[in-house]
Amino acid sequence: MRAIEVRGLRKGYGDFIALNGIDLDVDEGEVFALLGPNGAGKTTLIRILAEGLSYDSGEIRVFGEPLSKKTARLIGYAPQESLAYDDLTVRENLEFYANLYDVPGKRVDELIERFKLPAKKKAKELSGGFKKRLNLAVALLYDPKILVLDEPSTGLDVPSKRELWELIKEFREEGKTVLLATHYMEEAEALADRVAIMNEGKVIAVGTPEELKGLAGNESVIHVEGILRGTEAILREFRAIERENVLRVSVEDARKALPKVVEALVEGGSEIRSIRIEEPTLEDVFLKLTGRGLE
């Protein structure tokens, strides 16, 4: 069954068009990722679904029913920013939301135990990881069928990120539908059954990570790490992304292109630490589809 159906959704803020005719289907029980750079329209789409943000036109159904305050109860939402009140303890924060949603008090205890939250600690004393967990606990208070997560791992260190991913996998195992918005392609690859790539308010491709990588065709990626100089020529000649001492060059024939890439870097005075040929990632697909990187 379709958990979420979106048809022709449009939303603008004055002259700026945030969503430009979105069509999307999310199946029950799957983890569905919205992948795109900042400003692609992911958060707007999520806020329409989870916070009742108004939209200009289009249709949204949740488990076959039009989106309303009633169906919103089927959706639990963990936004990017913390929902916690700093001066309240973890338990008091959960109790507040439990009162708003008329959820029995014992559910608060269950969630504190499940997410191993420090019940008596004030929210302002929590680490980033625990704040995200508290957001998740709030989202799950009324046991929704769909969990919507906006940039869940932004700001987390690697161990906290891994722990969070494990929790998201648990939700899927419990049969919940998870819709997550991210601009980290590794997060989408690690968690999502299907991914929608968004850019400038449009969904430009949908499929499993493997299907999407197939859009890159026979291409492979030359991945170079080191202190890189003289990359301008490469960025002009090839489809490439440069970020934090890493250069990824998408090419049809790696064996032909590799000498040219290395020559350009050496001439530019680069100190190359490693070079390898890789399969394309979702970011490379995004690059192929839009001509720019995800960040």
Partner 1 sequence: MKARAVKGIVVKDLRETRRDRMAVFWIFVFPLMWVTLLGAIWGGSSPPVVVHVGAVYFNESAPFTASTLIGIMENVSVDGQKVFRITRYPDESAGLEAVKAGRIDVLLVFPRGFGKNVSSGLQGKVYAYFDRSDPQKYQIASGVVKGFFSEFEREMAYRKLNITLGYVEAYFPKNLSANFSPSMVRAYLVGMMDPIDLKEEAVTGERPSPIKFYVTSFIGIQFLFATMLTVSNLLFEEIEKGTLRRIAASPATAWDFLVGKMLSTFIVITASILIGVVYSKAVFKETVFPGPTGWLIIALSAVFSMSLGLAIAMGTRSMKATNALVNLISMPLLFLAAIVIPESILPRWARPIADYFPLGTALKDLRLLEIYHRPPSEVFPDVAWIAINSLLMLLIAVLLYNWAIKRLQ
Cβ proximity of 58 and 9 under 8 Å: yes
**Is 85 a residue that touches partner 1 (CB under 8 A)?**
yes
Among 69, 106, 255, 256, binds partner 1 (CB under 8 A): 69
**Is 65 a residue that touches partner 1 (CB under 8 A)?**
no
Q: Which is nearer to partner 1, 94 or 249 (CB)?
A: 94
**Is 88 a residue that touches partner 1 (CB under 8 A)?**
yes
Buried b / exposed e along 1-40 (16+ C-beta atoms within 10 A): eebbbbeebebeeeeebbbeebebebeebbbbbbbbbeeb
Looking at 98-106, 214-222, 264-272, 282-290, which segment touches partner 1 (CB under 8 A)?
98-106
Cβ at position 91, least distance to partner 1 in Å: 11
Cβ at position 43, least distance to partner 1 in Å: 12
**Is 79 a residue that touches partner 1 (CB under 8 A)?**
yes
**Is 52 a residue that touches partner 1 (CB under 8 A)?**
yes
Looking at 72-80, 156-164, 191-199, 282-290, which segment touches partner 1 (CB under 8 A)?
72-80
**Is 119 a residue that touches partner 1 (CB under 8 A)?**
no
Cβ at position 95, least distance to partner 1 in Å: 7
> What is the Cα–Cα distance from 90 to 127, expressed in whole angstroms?
12
Looking at 21-29, 69-77, 169-177, 228-236, which segment touches partner 1 (CB under 8 A)?
69-77
Among 27, 51, 157, 263, binds partner 1 (CB under 8 A): 51
Those residues with Cβ within 8 angstroms of residue 286's Cβ, 6 or more apart along the chain or in another chain: 35, 36, 185, 197, 199, 292, 293, 294
**Is 72 a residue that touches partner 1 (CB under 8 A)?**
yes
Cβ at position 211, least distance to partner 1 in Å: 34
What are the residues binding partner 1 (CB under 8 A)?
47, 50-54, 69, 72-73, 77, 79, 81, 83, 85, 87-88, 92, 95-102
